[in-house]
Amino acid sequence: MTASQPPTESAEPSAEPSADASADAGAALLARAVAHLEPVMPLLRELGERFATAGHDLALVGGPVRDAFLGRSSHDLDLTTSARPEQIEAAVAGWADAVWDMGRAFGTIGLRKGAYVVEITTYRADAYDRTTRKPIVAFGDNLADDLARRDFTVNAMALQLPELAFVDPHDGLADLFARELRTPGAPEVSFADDPLRMMRAARFVAQLDMSLHPGVAEAITAAVDSLQIVSAERVRDELVKLLLTPAPRRGLEVLVDTGLAQRMLPELPGMQLTIDEHHRHKDVYEHSLTVLDQAIDLEGPPGAGEQEVPGPDLILRLAALLHDIGKPATRRFEPGGGVSFHHHEVVGAKLSTKRLRELRFDKETIKSVSRLVELHLRFHGYGAGEWTDSAVRRYVTDAGDLLPRLHRLTRADCTTRNRRKAARLAASYDSLERRIEALMAAEELKAVRPELDGNEIGQVLGIPPGRVLGRAYKHLLAIRLDRGLIGPEAAREELLAWWADQPES
């Protein structure tokens, strides 16, 4: 089969390209894709020849083929074959540097050859009972049926090895260049078989800069309730993959517009507050997506130092998306036409913790995101720089290791169209960062602690470790934050004065 032709501009839109022109265009596209695969082509040809010698078909399939046509590098090398697992092992025996069979039940054998990791899977012809997303595994006997089972047409293209014949029975290449996401078969059947494909659709919209085919969008909207059979861990993993794409906004919009978000992240559509007739507040949902966009723009390059927050940074992105989820619950209309969201950062931190727990995020991520949500408004008490050094120390200490992310979240949270206001806020935060740097240089704020440690406090007061010593430690920490460095002797005097005021236990 030949490559599908991408849409091209023409002075005569009604003119049909000739068969020869279509063939030439397809051949040129295929040549570019193969050239992009050149670094791994020797390995692929060797594998293809080994399988052909053993009487088996072999093809590169899915993401690596799609990405080759886009001129993108793929970290995966996924192949499909007519060979059964034991035949795959026999074909690569003595050639692969290592082989593993953890996916044997699903027909997958993994191997390593030099620096490359390859997964080879037997053609599949699975069935689904639609009470879970786990298939009843069955092996197929031809490439066409295997491709028909795949999630989207852009992932249902293959390159047969070793002859490099391009197979595209569902016009995935045309869809790729038209930037339209379709399923090989009826979308309602595809999503009923595996509801997680609906979330993958949202991810591919963001990752590949595509749009949903109208039929796909309708099928997702009709099938959102089936997401309940997917485990929270799988939903979380797809959400993470979406958030870590270069521009996740459009994928998140798909989740909301189709109703999927209502089933897995209801706080997101919940921020679509109805704007009253006096337009007394912004739409919180749109604001949050803009904050996410701006936070991503503030990330450092991959591999940068921690202070630059190298992207993509999941914690920063989650915090940007969720920073205002406490607003709907705290919205109040005030006399005179105002609207308030008092303590929405506190409520939002609690809601963030609850939602991320239900999505089975790890404890450290939950703690970090919720803390950033709680702290995201703290800067707005800074005003024109009236904070004392004590307040600056507390800001740094409360943020801890999250300070670089808090800097970016706070800056990203400015979405005003008023240029003067935006410039004023930016200048104010510049001032705060300069003060933080100066205090850090003078007082080592990154490791701020009392000037007497726990052992010294116990010796001065003659008490063992426990709750009372913990209270004494917190008292000296508060003095350290309020007054800076006062010296060990002065700290000892403050400790004894505090101890004298304590009731006898």
Distance CA 59, CA 144 (A): 11
Query: Is 206 in a helix, a strand, or coil?
Result: helix
Q: What are the DSSP calls for 16-68, one per residue? A: PPPHHHHHHHHHHHHHHHHHHTGGGHHHHHHHHHHHHHTT--EEEESHHHHHH
Q: From residue 303, how far is each of 300, 313, 408 by CA, in Å?
A: 8, 11, 17
- List phi, psi (to 5°) of 112: -125, 135
CB atoms within 10 A of CB 42: 9
Q: Compare 419 and 404 and report the one with higher pLDDT.
A: 404
Give the lowest-confidence range in 3-17, 95-109, 415-429.
Answer: 3-17
Q: pLDDT category, 273, cuts 50, 70, 90?
A: low
The rounded mean pLDDT for the chain is: 88
Residue 358 has pLDDT above 50, yes or no: yes
**Extents of the domains making up the chain:** 1-178, 182-265, 268-447, 454-500
Within 202-329, strands assigned E span 211-212
Distance CA 406, CA 486 (A): 29
Which of 53-68 are b and which e, b meaning 16 or more Cβ less than 10 Å from the residue's Cβ? eeebbbbbbbbbbbbb
Distance CA 450, CA 491 (A): 8
Instruction: Tell me the residue type at 466.
Output: G
Distance CA 365, CA 288 (A): 19
Distance CA 392, CA 487 (A): 20
Query: Is 117 in a helix, a strand, or coil?
Result: strand
Q: Compare 129 and 370 and report the one with higher pLDDT.
A: 370
- Helix 344-358 vs helix 314-322: angle between axes, to the nearest 10 degrees? 120
Q: From residue 42, how far is each of 45, 76, 90, 165, 189 by CA, in Å?
A: 5, 16, 20, 16, 39
Distance CA 216, CA 206 (A): 16
For 268-447, CATH gives 1.10.3210
Residue 491 has pLDDT above 70, yes or no: yes
Q: What is the mean pLDDT of residues 295-318?
A: 95
- The pLDDT > 90 percentage for the chain reads 58
Which tens digits make up the pLDDT trace of 419-470? Answer: 888 888 888 888 888 888 888 776 665 567 788 888 988 898 888 998 888 8
Distance CA 352, CA 358 (A): 10
Residue 82 has pLDDT above 70, yes or no: yes
Q: Compare 211 and 494 and report the one with higher pLDDT.
A: 211
Question: Which helix (H) or strand (E) is 161 found in, with range?
Answer: strand 158-161
Q: Which span out of 334-348, 363-377, 383-397 was modeled with the highest average pLDDT?
A: 363-377
Q: How many residues does the chain have?
A: 505
**Superfamily classification of domain 1-178:** Beta Polymerase, domain 2 (3.30.460.10)
Residue 36 has pLDDT above 70, yes or no: yes
Distance CA 196, CA 260 (A): 10
Structure tokens at 359: 């999505």
Cis peptide before 312 (omega within 30 of 0): yes
Give the lowest-confidence range in 31-45, 209-223, 235-249.
Answer: 31-45
Amino acid 397: pLDDT? 85
Structural contact between residues 324 and 348, judged by C-beta atoms closer than 8 angstroms: yes
Residue 322 has pLDDT above 90, yes or no: yes
Query: Is 377 in a helix, a strand, or coil?
Result: coil
Instruction: Tell me the residue type at 349.
Output: A
Which tens digits make up the pLDDT trace of 125-158? Answer: 766 666 666 767 788 889 999 999 999 999 999 9
Q: What is the mean pLDDT of residues 45-58?
A: 96
For 182-265, CATH gives 1.10.110.30
- List phi, psi (to 5°) of 20: -65, -40
Which tens digits make up the pLDDT trace of 174-210? Answer: 999 999 999 999 999 999 989 999 999 999 999 999 9
